[in-house]
Structure 1
Amino acid sequence: MTPKYLHLEMRGNIAVVRLARPAKRNALGDALIVALRDLFENLPSETKSAVLCGEGDHFCAGLDLSELKERDASQGMHHSRMWHAALERVQYGPVPVIAALQGAVVGGGLELASACHIRVADESAFYALPEGSRGIFVGGGGAVRIPRLIGAARMTDMMLTGRVYNAQDGERIGIAQYLVPAGQAFDKALELAGRVAENAPLTNYALMHALPRIAEQPADQGFFTEALMAAVAQSAPEAKRRVKDFLDGKARKVQKS
């Protein structure tokens, strides 16, 4: 596996990051995971948002089992932590990431998707965690991120029984926030990335970095952190300009969709 299986294309200020291993359903090997980490650590400076997608009929079918090696406990732990570091750069990187999902979103592919901030699925998408039937356990952060999306009971069911969710049920339980017709996930994700790129950068950063931490804090600590973040965000020159534009009638008003 070499970084050639990961492509970056800039569309204005939107980074399109594409898993490009369609013959393997974009399965993840160590080199590709390291390449993801390095890419999200070094996005072009003009990047305001990103779209993460897969080439071909599938987003990502998970870990490339041909790379699965016998490891002792120490080696296995360090291998898992390497995945954690890479996916953390997706979740806690410099810009919001919108995932465009189609076909298989399985195992490590679901772990990767759960590290993104918005998930758009088309009607071909399906979700599974087959690690349970293979005698292994999730190791890319899924045990933390996936229950926060769908609850621990649903994740337990998926791993114990091999349950597969289709696109409609995946949206219903909260894996994806958007469901679109087959073949339209990328276009919708790109549209959303364009909207996100128009936001004030500090607000986007607060939503990525502060909001998930506030959600995990006790209420009194969360209120305090929120107050600090609100004060910092509204003090930025960009925020002051945007508020002034709204008061002057120059900004778009919220419309019923």
Structure 2
Amino acid sequence: MTQKHLQLEMRGDVAVIRLARPAKRNALGDAQVLALRDMFENLPSGARAAVLHGEGDHFCAGLDLGELQERDASQGLHHSRMWHAALDRLQYGPVPVIAALHGAVVGGGLELASACHIRVADDSTFYALPEGSRGIFVGGGGAVRIPRLIGAARMTDMMLTGRVYNAQDGERIGLAQYLVPQGQAFDKALELATRVATNAPLTNYALMHALPRIAEQPADQGFFTEALMAAIAQSAPEAKGRVRDFLDGKAAKVQKS
């Protein structure tokens, strides 16, 4: 599947999605945001996980400011909600998404990365939210997702001062879960996606859809939701088979890495 500036190929049961606008540092225009939404709504039926990465020297430098136009409040509201709907299809879509980060992960690019489930950065990665210095505000879900990763105080600092985090500090504060040498983010992301794709689909679904909601519920509601999800997951035939394999000594035991 190929659309302008956005490409998809299957590698086994992993959907590899590439932002293909390197001359613009993979900046996102409305067409690309809508194409991402459509792509995640129509992934091939065999996809069990996805990798999202950027062509060229950067993952994504954010909103294409060449498309920035004057909007009244109503138009701005609906434009932001369009981004929300698109990135929700990543976070709450059919498969886990692993982002391979390098170079600029800036503004809307960081909002896009924060909608993914796992983020792998290489040593060239840097993070910023320049909207504050440009007289605008994040509108692609960043005000919700990014504080969940790094806290509201750090995000406030990034927007007030224009602070840029390098790859090492970004991994330290939680913008990425993995940090690898330059040029290796995609390979690591694909390795993780291939492993994730072997999980029971219902378990992956629970981790994508139930866990974030449980984390925001009051404890008594969270415990109840967890119990319901655990009961549903363990009742699946695939889960029963995996447990039997473990009890029969056919499944690998956890080892220290």
For the criterion TM > 0.5, the same-fold answer is yes
1:53 — aligned with what?
53
1:4 is displaced (CA, Å) by 1.2
2:30 — aligned with what?
30
SS of 2:182's partner is coil
Distance between the aligned counterparts of 1:107 and 1:118, measured in 2?
A: 18
Distance between the aligned counterparts of 2:77 and 2:88, measured in 1?
A: 16
1:207 — aligned with what?
207
Query: Is 1:238 matched with 2:238?
Result: yes
Query: Is 1:166 matched with 2:192?
Result: no
Once the two structures are superposed, residues 24-63 of structure 1 have per-residue CA deviations (whole angstroms, 9 ceiling, x without a partner) of: 0000000000000000000000000000000011000000
Once the two structures are superposed, residues 187-246 of structure 1 have per-residue CA deviations (whole angstroms, 9 ceiling, x without a partner) of: 000000011000000000000000000000000000000000000000000000000011
> What amino acid is the match of 1:97?
V
> What amino acid is the match of 1:186?
F
> What amino acid is the match of 2:16?
V
Distance between the aligned counterparts of 1:199 and 1:46, measured in 2?
A: 14
Distance between the aligned counterparts of 1:200 and 1:249, measured in 2?
A: 19
Instruction: Report percent identity of matched pairs.
Output: 88
1:252 is displaced (CA, Å) by 1.0
2:102 — aligned with what?
102
Please give the root-mean-square deviation of Cα atoms over the aligned residues, in Å: 0.7
1:3 is displaced (CA, Å) by 3.2
SS of 1:119's partner is strand
> What amino acid is the match of 2:104?
A
Query: Is 1:18 matched with 2:18?
Result: yes
2:146 — aligned with what?
146
1:256 is displaced (CA, Å) by 0.2
1:132 is displaced (CA, Å) by 0.2
SS of 1:56's partner is coil
Alignment check: 8 A CA contact 1:60 1:109 kept: yes
1:249 is displaced (CA, Å) by 1.0
Distance between the aligned counterparts of 2:249 and 2:16, measured in 1?
A: 34
Query: Is 1:217 matched with 2:211?
Result: no
Alignment check: 8 A CA contact 1:49 1:194 kept: yes
2:8 — aligned with what?
8
Distance between the aligned counterparts of 2:59 and 2:250, measured in 1?
A: 40
> What amino acid is the match of 1:24?
K
SS of 1:127's partner is strand
1:40 — aligned with what?
40
Structure 1 unpaired stretches of 5+: none
Alignment check: 8 A CA contact 1:3 1:31 kept: no
Structure 2 unpaired stretches of 5+: none
Distance between the aligned counterparts of 1:146 and 1:216, measured in 2?
A: 15
1:84 — aligned with what?
84
Distance between the aligned counterparts of 1:130 and 1:121, measured in 2?
A: 20
**4+ residue segments displaced more than 2 Å:** none
SS of 2:4's partner is helix
Query: Is 1:64 matched with 2:55?
Result: no
Distance between the aligned counterparts of 2:247 and 2:219, measured in 1?
A: 33
2:197 — aligned with what?
197
> What amino acid is the match of 1:78?
H
